[in-house]
Amino acid sequence: MYRKITAFIAALAIAASGAVSCSSKKSGGDSSSSAADKKTKISGEAAPEIVPDATFPDYPISYPEIEKKTTGDLYEAEKAQLGKGLKVANEGKKSDDEQNEAEAPQPAQPEDQETTTLDPNRNPFSGEGYVTGFKDDGSSGVKFTVDAPSNQHYDLSFSIASKKIVDCRIVVNGKEISSFKTMDDDEFTLITLYGVFLTKGKSEVEIFPKGDMRLDYLKMSNNTSLGRIAYTPNENPANEDTGDSAKALLSFLTENFGKYVITGQYASDDSNKELDLIYQTTGKYPVIRFAAMHNSGDSFDSTFKDIDACTEWHRKGGIVGLMWYWEAPGKKPSVYAKDTDFDLSKAVTDVKLAEMKQEEIRELYAKGKISQECYGIMYDIDNMAGQLLQLKNKGIPVLWRPLHEGYGDWFWWGASGTDDYKWLWQLMYDRFTKYFELDNLIWIWNGQSKSTMVSQNTFDIAALDIYMDKDKEYGSRYEQFLAMQNIVGKRKLIALSECSTIPDIDACFRDNSVWSFYGLWYGKYLMDKDGSFSGEYTSKDALIRAYNSDGALTLDEYRTMRGYDKDEQSSTEAATTDTASTSTTTAADTAASAEADNGSETETTAVPENNDTEAPQE
């Protein structure tokens, strides 16, 4: 949410084998039934009738066939198309004798490294010179015309020297795909964007620096890093005492990781207007209903509506996802560090509080053995546990994402350093799982940085929040997918916990970056103030295609795969025959009961640096 996340240059690539066929997904349901029919099954007669604008076909996963070829072409900047005011210079060129005295040859660039300093003993630049004279406003650029030998992913390496850090935008065939920052040591350095997909033939690659620097050349080579992405999550949940319903859900996520992108949408309130708008627009509901639990200081009254809304969505066969918009305890409660006087560092203690009774904690506070900040933290954690216990008692598993975006300093839980953040995470995890025995939670770590990495034994899914400017192509965000897997390893699920735009499903499979699920934020990212579809970040056509893609999983398909519709039919037949019974068994109750009786397991898996836009503030 509030903050900027970067679309930095990280290694990634797609192998042809990485594209998984999803055509079998649709065969589980009745492909001839209309979207309106599915709506009736999902919502029941009590809900107001919402009719889709139209019905849509299934869209097969589609992208050009990939043919891997080895290449390493170099394109000199001085021979490219130069923007206005740019010039070619060759200051510092060595003589032939000086060149012959160069020592060891330049080592090969490691695949997982973003920058490589070139050998200073050799000529400081290649060819006849380098391009300089770039303007501070970023209006002057260099356009390279490259020739791709095949449809595949390429690494684009720019040789750049600069005396200061300069932001550079990269545009491929008219679309901005990424940006990066230069070094400031005035040495020619290779800065690489990994895994850029190009089709066979000519493509235009442009670079627009915001500040003067020296640009020597562009090197285009075939990518190998994307092939290292794996879909092999551990099937054991982080919490050894995870309950059956959460195990079953986690098992489902694990089994389908890399096969489908599970759809998700944040709801701004209990009306579910965002989810209904998606159904009206696409004929499909998302699988996951995400919501932000929000306390107001020491009051948790508003969270009761959240619990009711979660219960209702679970009864409809959907997945519940929750985060905590945690207003810090204190005289100035707020989630934002700049708006609160709360200091997490003052709460940190060596006292083992997680399994203490509440009266014991109160006694420690009364005796001055823990601080007021620490007592406030424990008070809030216990209050939130009380809300989540309601869902546990109803057999409802929850995708639980606390302390989101912990690597940043905009939220108070990340503002006092990584050690304090990790302490708070461990405290909450132990308190919830050991003292309150909340066995219905699937833990999502959203720290987004190696520095904020918590114990792998305390989370099941590693997730990223990625917001982009509306005029930038969102694509698959494969850079962050690979970077995250590099941090947490290949035994963790990886998800897109918040996004400004729905990822391109075709690109996710093409780029071998099939997120476990995504969650589109509400507000302007989906709808206008009058409640109509916005189209500002995700176009209507893109939304329709995403929700009807064979690579995306929607609520009706999820219900079929989990057997909810079959349970619903069995329940109806049983209710018809057993006329003597005075109790009524609904389809939703049957589905909840079936989920509670199931058993299965799972486990989980950073982020580069490049930032684009601020996420919304509440």
Over residues 290-325, the pLDDT tens digits come to 999 988 877 888 888 999 999 999 999 999 999 999
Write the secondary structure of 389-402 as one string of H (helix), E (strand) and C (coil). HHHHHCCCCEEEEC
Q: Give the rounded percent of residues in the chain with a pLDDT score beyond 70.
A: 78
Higher pLDDT, 404 or 573: 404
CATH class of the domain at 16-24+229-577+586-597? alpha beta
Q: d(Cα 271, Cα 1) in Å, to the nearest integer? A: 21
* pLDDT for position 303: 84
Longest dimension (CA), the chain: 103
Residue 578 has pLDDT above 90, yes or no: no
* Confidence bin at 566 (pLDDT 50/70/90): low
Residues facing residue 168 across a β-bridge: 180, 209
Q: What is the pTM of this model?
A: 0.81
Q: From the DSSP assignment, how many helices (H) and strands (E) are in the chain? A: 15, 22
Q: What is the mean pLDDT of the chain?
A: 84
Task: Kindly write down the DSSP assignment for every residue of 526-580, as one continuous string.
Answer: TB-TTSSB--SSS-HHHHHHHHTBTTEE-HHHHHHHHTHHHHHHHHHHHHHH-TT
Task: Kindly write down the DSSP assignment for every residue of 427-441, as one continuous string.
Answer: HHHHIIIIIS--TTE
- Cα atoms found within 13 Å of the Cα of residue 566, Cβ hemisphere only: 10
* Confidence bin at 407 (pLDDT 50/70/90): very high
Do 16-24+229-577+586-597 and 72-227 agree at the fold level? no
Sheet architecture: strand order including 167-172: 81-82, 142-148, 201-209, 167-172, 175-181
Instruction: Spell out the domain ranges in the chain.
Output: 16-24+229-577+586-597, 72-227
Q: What is the pLDDT of residues 316-359, one digit of tens each?
A: 999 999 999 999 998 899 999 999 999 999 999 999 999 999 99
* pLDDT for position 568: 57
* Confidence bin at 471 (pLDDT 50/70/90): confident
Task: Kindly write down the DSSP assignment for every residue of 92-151, as one continuous string.
Answer: TPPPHHHHHT--SPPPPPPTT-SEEEPPTTS-SSSTT-EEE---TTS---EEEEEEESSS
Residue 4 has pLDDT above 50, yes or no: no
Indicate the burial class of 134 (C-beta count within 10 angstroms; 0-12, 13-18, 19 or more): buried
At position 297, the amino acid (one-letter code) is: G
Q: d(Cα 381, Cα 383) in Å, to the nearest integer? A: 5
Sign of CA dihedral 108, 110, 115, 117: negative
Q: Are 142 and 206 in contact (CB under 8 A)?
A: yes
The listed CATH number (2.60.120.260, 2.80.10.50, 3.40.50.10310, 3.40.50.620) that belongs to domain 72-227: 2.60.120.260
Residues facing residue 209 across a β-bridge: 168
